Structure 1
Amino acid sequence: MTQELRRELRAEFIRFAHSAGVLRFGEFTTKAGRLSPYFFNAGLFNDGATLGALAEFYARTLLDAERHGHVRFDMLYGPAYKGITLASATAVALARKERNVPFAFNRKEAKDHGEGGVLIGAPMRGRVVIVDDVISAGTSVRESVEMIRAHGGEPVGVLIALDRQERGGNAENVSELSAVQEVEQKYGLPVFAIAGLDDVLTFLDSGSEAASALAPYRQRVAEYRMRYGASTS
């Protein structure tokens, strides 16, 4: 995939997320206590059509990363709960592209009967990509890395829908790195995002009918990016 095609993929995803009501604009308070002019909730990809389309974006992003030598993978892992449907749907999308890989996910609590254990799905093996919606504090990634290694796999990357490109901390105290950058630095794992906050701004600048209706939010998103945004250099 060329750079131009990657830009179009990101732009296509943002348009899709907005039309599906997953990317919204307004006033939202984040977990960090920040007043954000936009909100992304992948849990709202909640029917077969939108989940299938989302999985296609995940698969295209991951295959492009593999094609360019950024990652090699043997299976997918989805952390409970959102990651369960995301990893399984992505595995289906990959199979349709003749890249059939196994997947697994975890239970929140170990099962003491039947097959038992905390893992469901394929046996953990080889190079494993973690599939989730976003990275907020990195807790899910840490738990996933520990789970994968404990069961004999090797975590090699994280695949997410949106990189908020936002530095950690709270509304007043802001750290130097974003949650994604902290994961990459702490675990040495590349993070592949379908799109990021910069792509949201590009969408708002696009001049499309949908973007024109959102014109009042463009400056607010830009100011939010300026205040809390992480450097991408």
Structure 2
Amino acid sequence: MNQLSPSFDRQSFVRFALDEGVLRFGQFETKSGRLSPYFFNAGLFNTGASVGRLGQFYAQALLESGLSFDMLFGPAYKGIPLATCAAIALSQDPRCGQDVPFAFNRKEAKAHGEGGTLVGAPLKGRVVIVDDVITAGTSVRESVDIIRAQGAEPAGVLIAMDRMERAGADGALSVNSAVQDVAQRYGMPVISIANLNDILTWLSTDATFQTHETAVKAYRDRYGIQSDI
């Protein structure tokens, strides 16, 4: 079995995301129309090696959280490869002790073959939802509904990056971040491999990217929360 690196930490994930071009600095317009000084796009983990390493980070973050779980669920579409690679990595980690089942949904119901919108293992027991980020919480809400409809229990959400960002227009920002809202609404933890504070820690110590620290701090001061949930 492949052994996971004992040197895993949140900073190593930030470095990994930078090396893969998944985390970038500059000026990027978000869906909400904000101009962000950084951008995280998990869709750019697009090779076998990078996705395999990503799965290890997901597995380590989940196992180190201490959360009890029975299986994973990947919401269509981005969550499908993420849940798959996380399940593979978990099953290769001796700390997990099980061959982890996973499932995902289709956007459209299949009219032939097995039919329906669900693919993979039957949803049962304690299910962890695996995704890249939480923006509006729509994907989580849909996933929770699917899991509960099958008689299973949503146990938590596992994401790659927590932007620690509040929603809304300037002057009318939400009290909590999207991640905090999900945790409170559904009464379950949201586990992130890394968050905005980890990015800022990296910027403060790496001379190559230090020029972006001021802009990222200003963005956090304007839109962010000051601590993790």
Aligned to 1:203: 202
Question: Which residue does 2:212 correspond to in 1?
Answer: 217
Change (3 A) 1:122 1:129: same
- For 1:188, the equivalent position in structure 2 comes to 187
Does 2:215 correspond to 1:227? Answer: no
How many residue pairs are counted as aligned between the two chains?
221
Equivalence for 1:89: 85
Which residue number in structure 1 is paired with residue 50 of structure 2?
A: 50
Q: Give SS of 1:53's match.
A: helix
1:8/1:57 Cα in 2 relative to 1: closer, same or farther (>3 Å)? closer
The answer on whether the counterparts of 1:34 and 1:171 sit within 8 Å (CA) in structure 2 is no
Q: CA RMSD in A?
A: 1.6
> What CA deviation, in whole Å up to 9, does each residue of 1:93-113 have, x standing for no partner?
001114321000000011111
Higher helix share: 1
Task: Tell me the residue number matched to 1:61.
Answer: 61
Say if 1:26 and 1:37, in contact at 8 Å, map to a contact too: yes
Could you report, residue by residue, the CA deviation over 1:29-72 in whole angstroms, capped at 9, with x for unpaired residues?
11111110000000000000000001000000001112xxxx21
**Secondary structure at the counterpart of residue 13 of structure 2:** helix
Identical pairs, percent: 60
Matched, 1:127 2:126: yes
Q: Which ranges in structure 1 are unaligned for 5 or more consecutive residues?
A: none
Q: Give, in angstroms, the shift of residue 172 of structure 1.
A: 5.3
Is 1:37 matched with 2:37?
yes
- Match 1:73 to one of 48, 69, 75: 69
Call closer, same or farther: CA 1:6–1:179 in 2, change over 3 Å: farther
Give 1:173 deviation, angstroms: 3.2
- In structure 1, the residue matched to 2:161 is 162
Task: Return the TM-score normalized by structure 1.
Answer: 0.91
Deviates more, 1:169-178 or 1:150-159: 169-178
Q: State the SS of the aligned residue for 1:169.
A: coil
CA distance in structure 1 between the aligned counterparts of 2:155 and 2:17, rounded to whole angstroms: 27
Q: TM-score, normalised by structure 2?
A: 0.93
C-alpha contact 1:33 1:170 (8 A) present in aligned 2: no
Task: Write the distance in 2 (CA, Å) between the matches of 1:97 and 1:184.
Answer: 27
- How far apart, in 1, do the equivalents of 2:6 and 2:186 lie? 26
